[in-house]
Structure 1
């Protein structure tokens, strides 16, 4: 294992590093709570166990352990102990493993959502019948990258946790592949946005044509034959398999549901992209100038990396179905 070079990200006074660790600890607690909420929703509610929810569960588990890893490193240093040697290598390995793993999970969720919603039946059936293969890809690939990083470059203390200390290494190994993934999911979700939004427009048109007539039976057949029926989208994306068999969504609600889903399709990649703008900018700045970023900016940099669990809970786990399920449990005692 190669000894890591001193990290620009770790430069700062003792008071600054103390404040940095406090900020990262607070944000990591928020992320742990957010990801734990997604995991608990999956465990408690049958309506949150659809195929797509199972993929989001994988993302939530990764977010949770990433937050726990950050909590451990910051708590260690706030307790006056140094993060170095074997403990630093272990912390750096876990950081690389879980941070990269979230990238792969986000990509898996996007690809599988596209296959299901765009009606690629053969491919959709395959991924749904080989779920452990889909689960193995993020865990396996990220573990390989973390092991390679440990053996080739090594991990060192960058302030609040251990990671690659060389910004150029982080830029080439992590950030360039990450932005390729961001571009890929942006393309996928943009395509899904237009598919779902066009379905929304068709529902509006069909509602207008059916107004005052008795064509509901024929239109119900049309909707069942569509790859993007309201039942399929709202049930699979918002409710889950239990409602798929029992719920009947009024046609008057179909268009608004599709419109909300269309906008959510664009929110996923945009939020993920915003999270990584500041860290990427700082990596480029430090690589090109050889100087550390100002402390305030560097703190925002690390907070953006740690906030994943909370952000994913908001964009993936916070919707009408989850709120309804929690209200039912808390106020009516039903799951």
Structure 2
């Protein structure tokens, strides 16, 4: 059966999104499995998310290719299998992103005695396995009840009648996850803002004390302040500490499993003021190294922006709106076409969660070796 111009455009947009998501998530899986990527606490969670996105991309890509070649989908055993895999994988994506949000907030804000303070693989494996519990339950409940059928788009999924089915099994959970993730990351943003201000205040006080202590007594009555030349200043925006000479005061401010930031991107050093009686070498050995504002912003970006599910939420808005219209008994060609953005979620997740400078660096080194 030939497709109309609108149906062809819709099928092509869906197919492109599914294919890009499959390629993007598959590439991240290969990188994480075969490249010597530096391991961090979210490594398995990101790999788990990529597996769910890859399943969904391949599943919808196959059905999309069939639609382009043969026409609209019809109810069949293949349609039921397509709906089952689609429900399982797309909800696993939802739960995986929610799990990453929870673990990110816990790791950044927890104390050293917290459950994840000493990360072991079995703990992360438990979290990863838990992301598949809800998808397995809902997908097989729909299978047992015979809810799968052809729907708008390049795939089969839960039928439109009765209208509450899709919300009980999928959409209500997705709304819960999205609003929870927004709340979690707002809380994390506020927490980090307070932490940065606290660290800067403590570092400024320690530097002031060490500066005053280093000034000889015969000069202290003259001036205890550094010159006010704008080119001679101390940068105290420090967010990550290294323990030096057994000083335990710096250790308590070390972020748990800090961000993977390459030193190659560090900006050139800026001039520093060295107090009287202190050489540049002695200042560099201080347990309070300096970090400029650009470096601080880079750390904040790795901690926050790489974890934010902004692209995931934005890409799902048209699809959710289209399903709401369908639940009301109406159809909208504009929303059906915009629903194609949901097929790019896997590709966006690969860029947001999977790809980072360490993966890029490992890939370049592997290409050079080959």
User: Please, what TM-score do these two structures have when normalized by structure 2?
Assistant: 0.73
SS of 1:156 mapped into structure 2: strand
Structure showing greater radius of gyration is 2
Identify unmatched segments of 5+ residues in structure 1.
1-11, 240-247
Q: Specify which of 178, 189, 194 is matched with residue 193 of structure 1.
A: 189
**1:59 and 1:105 in contact (8 A); partners too:** yes
Q: Does 1:258 align with 2:268?
A: no
Distance across 2 between alignment mates of 1:126 and 1:221 = 19
How many residues align? The count is 306
Runs of at least 5 residues in structure 2 that lack an aligned partner in the other structure: 215-235, 237-241, 263-286
The match for 2:255 is 228
2:8 partner SS: helix
Matched, 1:170 2:166: yes
Q: After alignment, is 33-42 or 120-129 more displaced?
A: 120-129
Structure 2 contact 319–335 (Cα < 8 Å) conserved = no
Taking a change above 3 Å as real, the CA distance of residues 126 and 228 of structure 1, as seen in their structure-2 partners, is closer
Q: Does the residue aligned with 2:297 lie in a helix, a strand or coil? A: helix
Structure 2 Cα separation of the partners of residues 67 and 249 of structure 1: 48
User: What are the residue-to-residue correspondences of 1:132-281 with 2, within 5 Å?
Assistant: 132-158=125-151, 159-166=153-160, 168-206=164-202, 208-209=204-205, 210=207, 213=211, 217=244, 221-226=248-253, 228=255, 232-235=257-260, 251-252=290-291, 255-264=296-305, 268-281=308-321
1:284 alignment counterpart:
324
- Of the three residues 293, 296, 300, the one matched with 2:332 is 293
2:18 counterpart of 1:28: yes
In structure 2, do the counterparts of structure 1 residues 263 and 126 end up closer, same or farther at CA, with 3 Å as the change threshold?
closer
Matched, 1:43 2:22: no
**CA 168–34 in structure 1, closer or farther in 2 if over 3 Å, else same:** same
8 Å contact kept, 2:44–2:128: no
CA distance in 1, matches of 2:174, 2:118: 26
Q: Equivalent residue of 2:106, what SS?
A: helix
Q: Post-superposition shift, 1:263?
A: 4.3
Q: Which one of 50, 54, 62 corresponds to residue 72 of structure 1?
A: 62
Shift of residue 47, structure 1, vs aligned partner: 3.1
What residue in structure 1 maps to residue 108 of structure 2? Answer: 117
Provide the secondary structure at the position in 2 that maps to 1:49: coil
Give the deviation of 1:314 after TM superposition: 1.7
| Alignment match of 2:366 (pick from 324, 329, 333) | 329
The 10-residue stretch of structure 1 (184-193 or 53-62) with the greater mean CA deviation from structure 2:
184-193
Conservation of the 8 A alpha-carbon contact between 1:182 and 1:273: yes
CA RMSD of aligned residues (A): 3.1
Deviation for aligned residue 1:15: 3.3
- 1:29, distance to aligned residue in structure 2 (A): 1.2
Matched residue SS, 1:122: coil
1:7 alignment partner in structure 2: none
